C-alpha cells in the first residue's frame, strides 16, 4: 500500500511538473479576394506639443548643446523617427495651440520674447522652438506638418498671416520676412487644424458657436502656394468631439453639408484617451498588476464603438465619405510618474501600452474607409511616447517598436480576417484573447498582425489566405517577461521585437503566439 501511495505521489508530481498543454489551435483566414479600403499611412501620425520635455530636451537642445544635433535638433531622435516613416506631425498643440502666438517664435532666437506656458505648468517658454525650427524638424525626419491654428486667444488675421508667412510663394512682405529668417522657399503644409478641443480647453464653446468661427477661419486662412494648391492641397481639419456624444459631430457635419464655395473642411477630429478609472488619470504606468492591465485594454477597445457612433452621423450627411475622421489625439493617459511635475505628463511605457497601441491601430485599419488620419499622444517624453530622453541618453519605448513593426501597413490594402478570438477573463472583466488584421502591402506581400492579449498563456495559430497558398513567411514578435515590463535607461532593451518561428506547410502558416505579445507576419505567395 505504501508503495502504491508513493507511486501515486510521484506520478502526480511528474504531471504537475509538465508544461501546460497548449489550447486548441486558433484558425485564421485572410480573404485575399475581398480587398477593402486603403490603410492610409497618415493613421500612423504623431503629435508634438509644447508640453513638459516633449520639445525642449526631447527634440530641441539648441545648436550649442553637447548633445549631437543638427541646427539644434537632436540627431538621435531624428534617426529613430526616420525608422518609423512618420507621415505627419501635429504641432503646436493640443491645448497649447490656442494660446500660441506664432510671431513669438520667429526671427533671431536671442530676440524672441519669453512667455508663460499657462496651458502646462506655468513654466517659462523661451520660444526657441518656433515655426522655422518645427519645419526644419519635419524635413529632417521626412514628414508632413499638421499645424493647429489658434482660434481661442488668437484672431483670423493672425492665423491668416501665419499661413502667409509659411506658404506664400509670391514676394509678399511676410514671404520676404520668412526669407530674411533663412527660408526663401515656401513650406508645404499638409494639414491645418482649425482649433483644438474648442468644447473644453480651446474655449469651452458650444457646437454652434464653434461652427460660426470655423466657417470664418476656413474662409480666410488659406494656403498661398499655388503649386501646392494645384498638386497636393492642404486639408482643413475641424474640431470634433472628445466624448461619445454626437451633438458636436452633428453640428459640424450639418454645416459641411450646406457649405458654399467660400469655405470648406476636409476632416473632423476626434479625441479619445484610454483612462480606465476616469479623470484624473490614476493608473500606474509602471509596477502595476493584472487588474490595471485588463481594465486598460478593455477601456481602449471602446474606441471602436466611439468611432461607429460618429461615423453614423457622418454617413448621414456624407455617404460618399469625403470627410475624413481624424483621431488626432489618442493613447494611454496614466498618472504622472512620482516625483515629476504633474503638468509635464511624464509616464513610463510598458508592453501593456504596446498592446494598447496595436489594438487602436487595428481598429483604425478596420475603419479605414472613414478614418484616414490619427495622431498618438505624444511623440517624445509626454504620455504614450515613442521615445524617452534624459540629457544625452535616449531609449525607445515598446510603443515605438509597435509603430516600427507596422510600417509595412502604411498605404496597404485592408483584407478581411476571420477567426474565433476566444476570451480571457480576470475579476469579471473580459477581453478578446486575440485581435488581428491583415492587408496587402504596396510591395505585394501579404501582412498579418496578431495581438495576443492573454497575459498568461501562449496561443497556437494556423493561418491561410483564401485561394492563395503561402510559399514563405517571416514573423517578428514583441513580448516581455511581465505585463509591466518597460525599457529603462538602465535596461533599454528589455522589450524589443525579435524574429519568431513560423512554419509554412501546404500553403498555410503555423506559429505560436507568446503571451502578452504583438506578432507581425510577412507572407510571400
The closest alpha carbon to 272, from 247, 244, 309, 296, belongs to 244
Q: Quick check: 489 and 395 in contact, CB under 8 A?
A: yes
Per-position DSSP letters for 436-458, written without gaps between them: EEEEE-TTS-EEEEEEE--SS--
CA distance 384 to 333: 7
How many other C-beta atoms are found inside a 10 Å radius of the C-beta of residue 78? 17
Question: Nearest-CA neighbor of 166 among 148, 152, 153?
Answer: 148
Element (H, E) at 497: none
Active-site residue identified among 245, 329, 456, 524 = 329
Q: Which residues contact 214 (CB under 8 A, 6 or more apart)?
A: 194, 195, 238, 239, 252, 255, 265
H-type helices in 115-206, by residue range?
A: 131-141, 156-167, 173-180
- CA pseudo-torsion sign 82, 85, 91, 93: negative
Q: Catalytic pick from 133, 164, 197, 311?
A: 197
Strands (E), 158-244: 191-194, 235-238
Distances (CA, A) of 173 to 1, 159, 165, 166: 103, 16, 9, 12
Relative to beta strand 459-465, strand 26-30 is parallel
158 carries an active-site annotation = no
245 is catalytic: no
Q: Which three cell numbers stand for residue 520?
A: 507581425
| Partner residues linked to 418 by β-bridges | 29
Nearest to 438 by CA among 100, 141, 76, 33: 33
Catalytic residue list: 197, 329
Amino acid at each position: 500500500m505504501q508503495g502504491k501511495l508513493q507511486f501515486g505521489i510521484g506520478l502526480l508530481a511528474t504531471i504537475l511538473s509538465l508544461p501546460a498543454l497548449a489550447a486548441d489551435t486558433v484558425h485564421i483566414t485572410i480573404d485575399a479576394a475581398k480587398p477593402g479600403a486603403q490603410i492610409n499611412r497618415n493613421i500612423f501620425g504623431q503629435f508634438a506639443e509644447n508640453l513638459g520635455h516633449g520639445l525642449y530636451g526631447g527634440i530641441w537642445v539648441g545648436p550649442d548643446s553637447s548633445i549631437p544635433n543638427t541646427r539644434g535638433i537632436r540627431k538621435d531622435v531624428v534617426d529613430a523617427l526616420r525608422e518609423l516613416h512618420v507621415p505627419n506631425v501635429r504641432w503646436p498643440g493640443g491645448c497649447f495651440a490656442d494660446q500660441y502666438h506664432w510671431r513669438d517664435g520667429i526671427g533671431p532666437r536671442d530676440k524672441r520674447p519669453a512667455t508663460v506656458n499657462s496651458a502646462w505648468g506655468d513654466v517659462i517658454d523661451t520660444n526657441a522652438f518656433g515655426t522655422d525650427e518645427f519645419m526644419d524638424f519635419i524635413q529632417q525626419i521626412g514628414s508632413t506638418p499638421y499645424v493647429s491654428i489658434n482660434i481661442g486667444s488668437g484672431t483670423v488675421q493672425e492665423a491668416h498671416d501665419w499661413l502667409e508667412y509659411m506658404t506664400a510663394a509670391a514676394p509678399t512682405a511676410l514671404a520676404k520676412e520668412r526669407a530674411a529668417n533663412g527660408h526663401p522657399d515656401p513650406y508645404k503644409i499638409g494639414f491645418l487644424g482649425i482649433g483644438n478641443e474648442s468644447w473644453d480647453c480651446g474655449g469651452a464653446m458650444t457646437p454652434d458657436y464653434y461652427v460660426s468661427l470655423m466657417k470664418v477661419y476656413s474662409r480666410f486662412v488659406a494656403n498661398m502656394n499655388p503649386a501646392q494648391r494645384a498638386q497636393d492641397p492642404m486639408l482643413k481639419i475641424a474640431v470634433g468631439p472628445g466624448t461619445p456624444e454626437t451633438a458636436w459631430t452633428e453640428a459640424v457635419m450639418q454645416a459641411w453639408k450646406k457649405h458654399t464655395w467660400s469655405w470648406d473642411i476636409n476632416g473632423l477630429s476626434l479625441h479619445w484617451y484610454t483612462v480606465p478609472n476616469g479623470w484624473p488619470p490614476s493608473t500606474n504606468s509602471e509596477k502595476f498588476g493584472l487588474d490595471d492591465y485588463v481594465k486598460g485594454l478593455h477601456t481602449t477597445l471602446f474606441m471602436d464603438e466611439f468611432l461607429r457612433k460618429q461615423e453614423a452621423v457622418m454617413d448621414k450627411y456624407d455617404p460618399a465619405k469625403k470627410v475624413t475622421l481624424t483621431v488626432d489625439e489618442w493613447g494611454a493617459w496614466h498618472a504622472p510618474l512620482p516625483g515629476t511635475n504633474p503638468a509635464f505628463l511624464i509616464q513610463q511605457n510598458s508592453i501593456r501600452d504596446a498592446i494598447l497601441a496595436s489594438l487602436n491601430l487595428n481598429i483604425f485599419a478596420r475603419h479605414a474607409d472613414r478614418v484616414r488620419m490619427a495622431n498618438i499622444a505624444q511623440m517624445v517624453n509626454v504620455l504614450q511616447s515613442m521615445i524617452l530622453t534624459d540629457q544625452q541618453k535616449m531609449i525607445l519605448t515598446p510603443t515605438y517598436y509597435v509603430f516600427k513593426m507596422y510600417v509595412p501597413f502604411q498605404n496597404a490594402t485592408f483584407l478581411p480576417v476571420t477567426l474565433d478570438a476566444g476570451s480571457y477573463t480576470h475579476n469579471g472583466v473580459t477581453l478578446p484573447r486575440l485581435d488581428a488584421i491583415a492587408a496587402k502591402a504596396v510591395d505585394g506581400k501579404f501582412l498579418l498582425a496578431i495581438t495576443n492579449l492573454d497575459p498568461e498563456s501562449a496561443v497556437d495559430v494556423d493561418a491561410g489566405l483564401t485561394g492563395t497558398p503561402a510559399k514563405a513567411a517571416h514573423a517578428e514578435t514583441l513580448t516581455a517577461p511581465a505585463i509591466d515590463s518597460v525599457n529603462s535607461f538602465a535596461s533599454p532593451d528589455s522589450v524589443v521585437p525579435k524574429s519568431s518561428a513560423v512554419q509554412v506547410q501546404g500553403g498555410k502558416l503555423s506559429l505560436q503566439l507568446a503571451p502578452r505579445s504583438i506578432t507581425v507576419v510577412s507572407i510571400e505567395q
